Chain A
Amino acid sequence: MNEFRATLAIVRRHIDRRFALDWAMQFTIVAAIAFAFTRTFAHPLIPLAIASTLAAASAAERSHAESLRRLTFFAMPLYGRQLARAHAIAPSLLALAIPAGYAFGSVARVHAFPVELLAAMFGTALVSTLVALSAIFRDGIRAALYVVLAAAAGVAVMLPWVLHAEHGFTLAAALAAIVSFFAIRAFGETLARYDPLPA
């Protein structure tokens, strides 16, 4: 088994025309929000909350969930953790549209955007996406709770930076890396335990 070749094949399958459209749409919507409200959203917590909420909702979106629940993926000779890594790449790339769009909208309006805020938004979006992926294989209230948890986790990891703690940005980046690692592990565990039953 060539895991890299298998991973690449799964990523290529996710990154299709619809993915490009979703990326462009997400970028445009967030850019429009930033263009309209960047002066009002002076506190960094607001763009971070926007990034985490949108990233969590986008990763757990139902049609995306249905495509990942296809039997094809579960018949493949891969461990849950390998499948989880492969499945996480496309949503992570999609999540990057949010900070990119926000920075674009802000720059267009006020001709400036702090690099640290951009990096923090990237971290937030990534953490929220990776935590929200586990919602895909859950239904109803449990899925909704996972999305809420993902949105909260995305903001929470950046709190050391938002609250101006000493070495706050480094601490926030380290927290984001740790939470992302465990989120991927949890997603792998979810995939390994999931039984694709017929309707």
Chain B
Amino acid sequence: MKILRAAGVSFVRDGIELVAPFSLALEAGAEAELLQPNARAAAIAARICAAIVRPTRGTVYVGEYETRLQPPQAKRLVGFVDASGFEGGAHALRCEVAFRADVWNLDKSAAQARASEILAVLGDGPYARAIALALVADVALVVLDRPGEELIPRVRRFVPGAGILHTRESDTISPAEPALLSAAR
């Protein structure tokens, strides 16, 4: 089953193409890397795939939900991790986990336990904390914006059946050419 399908997706703002057209398909349980020419393009592409930003052209489906038409249903399936991570301390993290548990309608103590378990494996740091937050809900797709390479196999332990998409900056892609999916396994 395809958990993420993007067809002819691009993002334009004020007449400037910030994300060149790309297409990809990701199976549940598979991993893929989305290359982009710069950090801003990578961040926007990740947000588009996580149903947070609407593409200017093209369509994105998370599971069976089109992100422009059914964003809440699509977002419910996605754990999104921003490149800036979560900067707050331990107390702020506990508050944020409780907040997410309320919003995603989860059991609070189970969510706190899962976040602690994830942090114990990933180590502490802004990006690891953001991953812990993203994975407190049971997600089918994990979108990581420019993660460290070593993190991906460790994230997989917590979401064995989910698709994992991560973005990366690549000098080999010029802004004019399509930034296609480089690998899927």
Contacts and interface: CB of A to CB of B under 8 A. Distances in A.
A6 interface: yes
A197 B103 contact: no
A123 to B, nearest CB: 31
A10 interface: yes
Nearest to A1: B105
Interface string A77-101: 1110010000000000000000000
Given A1-B72, A77-B72, A9 B103 contact: yes
A99 to B, nearest CB: 31
Given A197-B13, A198-B43, A75 B102 contact: no
A10 B40 contact: no
A92 B67 CA distance: 31
Contacts of A79: 71-72
Contact of B105 (A6, A10, A71): A6
Of residues A1, A5, A10, A76, which shows the largest number of chain B Cβ atoms within 10 Å of its Cβ? Answer: A76
Contacts of B103: 5-6, 9-10, 76-78
A71 B104 contact: no
B52 A78 contact: no
Interface in A1-43: 1-2, 5-6, 8-10, 13
For chain A, give the interface size range. Answer: 20 to 34
Contacts of B75: 75-77
A182 to B, nearest CB: 23
B99 A9 contact: yes
A1 B73 CA distance: 10
A1 B102 contact: no
A68 to B, nearest CB: 15
Interface in B62-81: 71-73, 75-76, 78, 80
Contacts of B104: 1, 77
B24 interface: no
A113 interface: no
Nearest to A86: B103
A82 to B, nearest CB: 8
B165 interface: no
Contact of A197 (B44, B78, B80, B83): B44
B54 interface: yes
Contacts of A192: 71
Nearest to B56: A195
Contacts of B35: none
A1 B39 CA distance: 33
B52 A75 contact: yes
A71 B72 contact: no
Given A77-B75, A79-B71, 5 more contacts: A1-B76, A1-B104, A6-B105, A78-B103, A79-B72
Interface of A: 1-2, 5-6, 8-10, 13, 71-72, 74-79, 82, 192, 195-198
Interface of B: 13, 18, 39-40, 43-44, 47, 50, 52-54, 71-73, 75-76, 78, 80, 82-83, 96, 99, 102-105
